[in-house]
Amino acid sequence: MIHIKFALISDIHGNLPALEAVIQDAKENNVDQYIFLGDYCVGLSYPNEVIDYIRSIDSSLVVSGNEDESLIYLTSLEPDKWPKGQYEAGPWIYKVLSERNRSYLCGLPQEIVIRNDKRPPVFVFHKPHRYFSGTDPCSINPQFFAKGMDDKKFDCDSFYAYSNTLLNCDSELHSTISKLENGVYIFGHTHIPLCWERDGKLLINPGSCGLPLDFNCNASYGILEWRRNSYIASLRRVKYDVNTTINYTKKSDYAKEVRVWSGIITKELETAREQAVPFIRFTEKYATDNQDMVRALFAQKHGILLMKNGVT
């Protein structure tokens, strides 16, 4: 009987210790293959280390994320046109990445479809908007999560049931999936783990490995297993030394040279609560009001400011 097990890893954001902990946990769970879902190196201060680690894993499938694509965009600009200030994290990461790792990111596909005659297809992509725009898999994001926690609509333990109730009641989502091919749809981007199945479609968001924003600092990932003629998914959390990662980041050149942004991301790491998007909304408006269109257009076009999506 055919049996295969995938590890689903997304949104590492330059957090090497979290990635190492997740890979170790996946190995202990006898994973056969690794699926990486985008946003690898913008955020914390291990950009080359993270890409090198991913590239060293032979049994892996890797797609690009919006942050990876924002780095690629910089190749089309003269350096004097690169964004400054609050958007300087991208250019800093771009400059410190090795040429080999830049080329690697530039060559990543936006989607991979795994097809096998004996199993339903598996669709691998970064943003849920690729298939589910306008539905709850896109809108259940860190802002949604923080507000729900503040309003006491759910807590960390009850969120899974709460979110599944929302998905069960989302008629637009049901209409959307009715037009899709039966199979598994795996995505990341929102930093909020989800797992939901209906009418032959299994939707999985493994959450964020390196920058969780669901009030739980433990690294998040998923396992997808083909067993007894069906796919079974599970969401896992892995402890690692968050304080060591924070201290390393605070002492790094990244923190010295990109002080504001690294501080915001470090705060997110400490709290597992979104800090970046409210800040970006304010600064994008400030840039627009002051006709600083380099910053404003960069944010709008390349997804650093995600007014609708609510995550970086």
pLDDT tens digits along 288-305: 676 665 555 555 544 443
CATH number of 191's domain: 3.60.21.10
Nearest-angstrom CA–CA distance, 133 and 59: 31
pLDDT value at position 290? Answer: 66
Question: CB neighbours of 21 closer than 8 A, spacing ≥ 6?
Answer: 219, 238, 239, 240
pLDDT value at position 307? Answer: 34
Query: Where in the sequence is the domain holding 161, given as residue range(s)?
Result: 4-238
Domain membership flag for residue 65? yes
Amino acid letter, 244 = T
Instruction: Please list the ranges in the chain whose pLDDT falls under 50.
Output: 1, 301-312
Domain membership flag for residue 291? no
Amino acid letter, 181 = E
Nearest-angstrom CA–CA distance, 201 and 183: 5
Nearest-angstrom CA–CA distance, 175 and 284: 35
Report the candidate in 286, 222, 245, 224 with the shortest Cα–Cα distance to residue 87: 286
pLDDT value at position 29? Answer: 97
Longest Cα–Cα distance in the chain = 64
Strand order in the sheet with 111-116: 111-116, 119-125, 183-186, 201-205, 194-198
- β-sheet bridge partners, residue 124: 112, 186
Give the pTM.
0.89
- Please give the distance of CA 196 from its chain centroid, rounded to a whole number: 18
Report the candidate in 237, 206, 215 with the shortest Cα–Cα distance to residue 18: 237
Domain membership flag for residue 125? yes
Dihedral angle, C-alpha 162, 168, 170, 171, nearest 10 °: -170
The domain total for the chain is 1
Domain membership flag for residue 15? yes
Nearest-angstrom CA–CA distance, 57 and 280: 34
Domain membership flag for residue 141? yes
Please state the three-class secondary structure of 266-307 as a single string. HHHHHHCCCCHHHHHHHHHHHHHHCCCHHHHHHHHHHCCCCC
Domain membership flag for residue 89? yes
Domain membership flag for residue 75? yes
Nearest-angstrom CA–CA distance, 255 and 285: 24
Domain membership flag for residue 78? yes
pLDDT tens digits along 53-68: 999 998 899 999 998 8
